[in-house]
Amino acid sequence: MDEQEYFVRLESTASNPEDLFEHFEQRSTADRTYHALPSARHGIERGTVVIEDTIVRGYPKIPRVLVLNVGVPSFFEQELAIEEKLDGVNVRIADIGEPLAFTRSGYVCPYTTARARELLDPAAFFREHPEKTLCAELVGPETPYTTHDYDDIDSHTFRVFDIRHRESGRPLPVTDRRELCAAYEFPQPRLFGWYEPREAIEGAREATTELNRKDREGIVMKTLNGEQMAKYTTESQHHEELAYGFSLPFDRGRDFVFSRLVREAFQAAEFEDDDDQLRKRAQRMGEAILLPMVETIRNTADEQAVGERFTVRGTPQQIDALFEHLYDQSLTLDVQDDRREDGERIVEFVKVAESTRDQIQYYLEEGIHRE
């Protein structure tokens, strides 16, 4: 890799190529070698990839609004769009001689690549727009990275929520992007509407309340040019994430659960005027914390696999490539079921949460915790 050339093209805040490229990792997939940035550095987004002569910028981090009443008008000065935020995994699809799918941290995922080619069929899009990246959420119960269930999705699907210039990372304006997606028949997240900042407080609140009733994740608010974004999530999402965090208490860490508690507390303070409603909400949250943790302790005692459960489906070759990719990341996997249906291979597996398993086993055997 010619570091000087990519240093200039990346326009980072680093003072020299060495300071920037020491943070990139060299990786390979099939017969390609590429360099990826595993965490944001020097103004360059996490997951940015240099592959052959192409740069694919990472997807930017989206700030979170904690209090709608003050957060929305202070963040947005002009009209904004509210879209649904889907709970899945961030995938960027770019044309590197052929469409490749990159994960959030910049891995080429063979499974997601195959699914993106099949479900989005982006060849025609890339013929016209080779310099653009499709930013999509892979959602549904059958993916190797996420498990949130949607009523209308049996296996998995993509929702294209952004289209950006591959190298600069600049987004298309929201309307242009939605029109382009419609033209190529790419599924998109729901658009709730356009709002002036003051009206958007109520718009965001209504959208969040409706999504919460349907156990959906939340919203992303976006300026018309797509450059500024802020996210806001539902109570059901906070509880789902707390349940997940407390089901793997020694793997997820305190920061993970504390940040979810803070989100939930600020929303409860803003939404729940009625003391009875607040108390009911507190009870729901207590259940989200305690029940999964107790279940994990009991499962460990029964010597069941402890960790996140996933189901994946694809051709035998796609599934082999996926497992090779997952083992490359040093994950411990416990395959629970491996079967064929109509020529497809379907595998259910657990990504073993080793710290949780070992720590709980230790406490169950010793019965003592020395602070």
Binding site for ligand ATP (CB under 6 A): 59, 61-62, 83-86, 90, 104, 137, 161-162, 189, 220, 231
Q: Assign residue 120 a region: left if phi > 0, alpha if psi is -120 to 50, beta otherwise?
A: alpha
How far the first Cα of the chain sits from its last, in Å, is: 50
Give the residue with the Cβ less far from ligand ATP, 181 or 322: 181
* No. of helices (H) and no. of strands (E), the chain: 12, 15
In the complex, the smallest distance separating the C-beta of residue 60 from ligand ATP, rounded to whole angstroms, is 8
* Residue 75 parent element (H or E): helix 68-75
In the complex, the smallest distance separating the C-beta of residue 86 from ligand ATP, rounded to whole angstroms, is 4
Give the residue with the Cβ less far from ligand ATP, 220 or 322: 220
Question: Under a CB-based contact definition with an 8 Å cutoff, are residues 103 and 91 in contact?
Answer: yes
In the complex, the smallest distance separating the C-beta of residue 219 from ligand ATP, rounded to whole angstroms, is 8
Give the residue with the Cβ less far from ligand ATP, 172 or 305: 172
In the complex, the smallest distance separating the C-beta of residue 85 from ligand ATP, rounded to whole angstroms, is 4
Q: Which is it for strands 89-95 and 132-139: parallel, antiparallel or unpaired?
A: antiparallel
Give the residue with the Cβ less far from ligand ATP, 228 or 361: 228
Give the Cα-Cα-Cα angle 335, 338, 343 (nearest 5 degrees): 150
In the complex, the smallest distance separating the C-beta of residue 159 from ligand ATP, rounded to whole angstroms, is 7
Question: Under a CB-based contact definition with an 8 Å cutoff, are residues 345 and 315 in contact?
Answer: yes
Give the residue with the Cβ less far from ligand ATP, 162 or 240: 162
- Residues 135 and 288: their CA atoms lie apart, in Å, by 31
Give the residue with the Cβ less far from ligand ATP, 85 or 132: 85
In the complex, the smallest distance separating the C-beta of residue 230 from ligand ATP, rounded to whole angstroms, is 10
198: tokens are 């003051």
- In angstroms, what CA-CA distances link 49 with 3, 9, 24, 167? 13, 12, 9, 10
Residue of minimal CB distance from ligand ATP? 90
In the complex, the smallest distance separating the C-beta of residue 341 from ligand ATP, rounded to whole angstroms, is 30
- Residues 249 and 251: their CA atoms lie apart, in Å, by 6
Question: Under a CB-based contact definition with an 8 Å cutoff, are residues 320 and 335 in contact?
Answer: no
Give the residue with the Cβ less far from ligand ATP, 229 or 353: 229
Q: Which is it for strands 333-341 and 344-352: parallel, antiparallel or unpaired?
A: antiparallel
